[in-house]
Structure 1
Amino acid sequence: MKALLLSFGLGLLAALQAQAIPTIPTMEEDQDVTGIWYLKATASDKKIPHMKLGSVSVMPMTIKALEGGNLQVKFTFLIAGQCREMSTVLEKTDQPDKYTLYEGKQVLHIIPSEVEGHYIFYYEGSIHGHRLQMANLVGRDPDINQEALEDFQNAVRARGLNAENVFIPTQRETCPLGSN
């Protein structure tokens, strides 16, 4: 369950191959992805049961720079009335947009959106023996930007994910009392 929530949250996190995509820009070394981010949309190559229930709310995630270029990501979800807090370290690789998780077994690419203040997180890994690919649109504010959402849908299509299955979670600032 923890791995499923992590993949949902980070791609939260979104999934992809390591090769570069000509239509999607790569992250520059000097781009700062630290701070507060909001998960605005997500898409996956697999159905995630909680998404179709419509009972998923997300709180802002925090990304903090660590030594060596690694990133710490903390986020909270409210799923079926229960708050779930997650934290993970993204380990920097020699590619500016590529990070690994869980001792290099899973890959996350952080790709700038064509829309300023937005990124697309692509995640690829295995959960409970099943391969999973996810794409997540994150932004600096909680409001949905239609142009960023269209850019996200184009990126999802470019990776072979179904743009019709894009899920937009409900935004919350904090988890409600008594839901831990």
Structure 2
Amino acid sequence: MNDAWRILLVDDDPVFTATLAHALRRRGHEVESAHEPTGALALARHFLPDAAVLDLKLEEASGLGLIEPLRDLRGDMRILLLTGYASIATAVEAIKLGATHYLPKPADADEILAALGRAGGDAEVATPEEPMSVDRLEWEHIQKVLAEHDNNISATARALKMHRRTLQRKLMKKPVKE
């Protein structure tokens, strides 16, 4: 990829999107942004970005659903899934679908550019000293089952033998730290 990238930002938070777009432009990149999947795909067809930064949660949709269509538009596009709801299940699905990297929020423009610029994985990444907490294991399991049910809350609640509202309350909370 050349020094100045054409980057598509897709996030439903307009303040975050504007702030990140400004930071990326200051670093010499051309940036376009969208706040929902349909607009993002229409924009991508005309803009043909080198890279895309996708939020996992887009109102009622998922950024995961944008990975394959964007990859179809341009096979060499670098795609980063960025989320405040990081989980192992969504990271695995993002990579399986063709994302280049996955970062938890908060991430700044430099971290995002570094992730987009990396061509491969890092075998030297630090392994955790402690196992995950029970609360984090629950969060990860819910995310895995949610992904298996295409982000359908009702189907996930049935699979977990949990009331739908209870599941919604758990999903509204920020992920538990490791």
Query: Which bin holds the TM-score, normalised by the shorter protein?
Result: 0.3 to 0.5
TM-score, normalising length from structure 1? 0.33
Q: Which has the higher helix share?
A: 2
TM-score, normalising length from structure 2? 0.33
Which structure ranks higher in relative contact order (CA pairs < 8 Å, sequence separation ≥ 6)? 1
Q: Which has the higher strand share?
A: 1
Bigger-Rg structure (1/2): 2
